[in-house]
Amino acid sequence: MIAVFIFPCYNAGMTKAAVSEIRERFDGDVERFSNVITGQTSVMDAALALEVGTEAVRRLVQNGQTLLDLGCGAGNWTVKLLEKLPNLACTLVDISRPMLERARERVAPLSRQNITILESDFRTVQFEAESFDIITAGATLHHLRDDDEWIAVFTKIYAALRHNGCFLISDLVTHENEILARYDWERWGAYLENAGGPEMRETILTLCEREDTPRPLNWQMELLRRTGFKSIEILHKNACFATFCAIK
């Protein structure tokens, strides 16, 4: 039985945002997310995570041919991977059409292969079995809600990967221990205030409380093992942000 954990700043009286609300917010924020620097200001060690994560994939899947980017946004993870593995055929999935269009604009000059875009919620879209060498999920899994959604998505991703394929995750996480979870959120809050003042801290943390339901890193690693992945590696962690990968 997988335990349920509480988001550190979760307000039991607050209803989480619907997918349509999250889509609307992203539709209006394409320009910011199109810039690797400004689009990731609120994420601790964003540039380092991007580099470490994609370099790990390059070394693990040197002959990879197909990439699936779940919740691709404006395409930062795919752009970075194509700098290292230019022969990837790319499938980009996002709920925001403007984000997808911008991602395609940025990816096209770098790709030597086909680019496919899918405007869809990654929870419901279906993929052919063993059709991808690499699957990425950058800052997207924290939108999953209950255990059933997490299990279904991880199972789907495992089925869609080829043998020795790599699933790369970089995301907001929490701790199983509530005291440590709150400590990490305090550290993140201090980082946000240093980056943009009290207003930025309040805006980002309120947004997370409204939209996000992250799970502990250990919980996700255990779910990956139960799903069938043979190897799970932590690549980087700082406070409530982690980059890790799983090999089928």
Q: Return the CATH number at 83.
A: 3.40.50.150
How many helices (H) does the chain have, and how many strands (E)? Answer: 8, 7
Instruction: From residue 134, give the alpha-carbon distance in Å to each of 89, 163, 208, 224, 248.
Output: 10, 11, 28, 15, 10
Identify the residue whose tokens are 């009286």. 13
Residue 71 lies in a domain: yes
Residue 12 lies in a domain: no
Residue 15 lies in a domain: no
Q: What is the pLDDT of residue 14?
A: 57
**pLDDT tens per residue, range 18-59:** 777 767 666 556 566 655 555 578 899 999 999 999 999 999
Task: State the Cα–Cα distance between residues 30 and 8, nearest whole angstrom.
Answer: 28
Residue 16 lies in a domain: no
Give the number of other Cβ atoms within 10 Å of residue 191's Cβ.
21
Give the number of other Cβ atoms within 10 Å of residue 97's Cβ.
14
Share of the chain above pLDDT 90, in %: 80
pLDDT digit string (tens) for the chain, length 248 residues: 444 444 454 444 457 767 777 676 665 565 666 555 555 788 999 999 999 999 999 999 999 999 999 999 999 999 999 999 999 999 999 999 999 999 999 999 999 899 999 999 999 999 999 999 999 999 999 999 999 999 999 999 999 999 999 999 999 999 999 999 999 999 999 999 999 999 999 999 998 999 899 999 999 999 999 999 999 999 999 999 999 999 99
Residue 92 lies in a domain: yes
Residue 3 lies in a domain: no
φ, ψ of residue 12 to 5 degrees: the values are: -60, -20
Residue 171 lies in a domain: yes
Distance of CA 220 to the CA centre of its chain: 13
233: its two tokens: 């590696």
- Structure pTM? 0.90
Instruction: Say if CB 144 and CB 213 are below 8 A apart.
Output: yes
Q: How many domains does the chain fold into?
A: 1
Q: What angle do CA 15, 200, 37 make, to 5 degrees?
A: 110
Give the number of other Cβ atoms within 10 Å of residue 63's Cβ.
8
**Is residue 227 within a helix (H) or strand (E), and if so which, with residue range?**
helix 217-227
Q: What angle do CA 153, 155, 158 make, to 5 degrees?
A: 110
Q: Who contacts 163 (Cβ-Cβ below 8 Å, separation ≥6)?
A: 130, 248
φ, ψ of residue 128 to 5 degrees: the values are: -70, 150
240: its two tokens: 């409530």
Residue 220 lies in a domain: yes
Instruction: From residue 2, give the alpha-carbon distance in Å to each of 80, 173, 182, 223, 230.
Output: 34, 16, 21, 8, 19
The range of the structural domain enclosing residue 99 comes to: 21-33+40-247
37: its two tokens: 């620097």
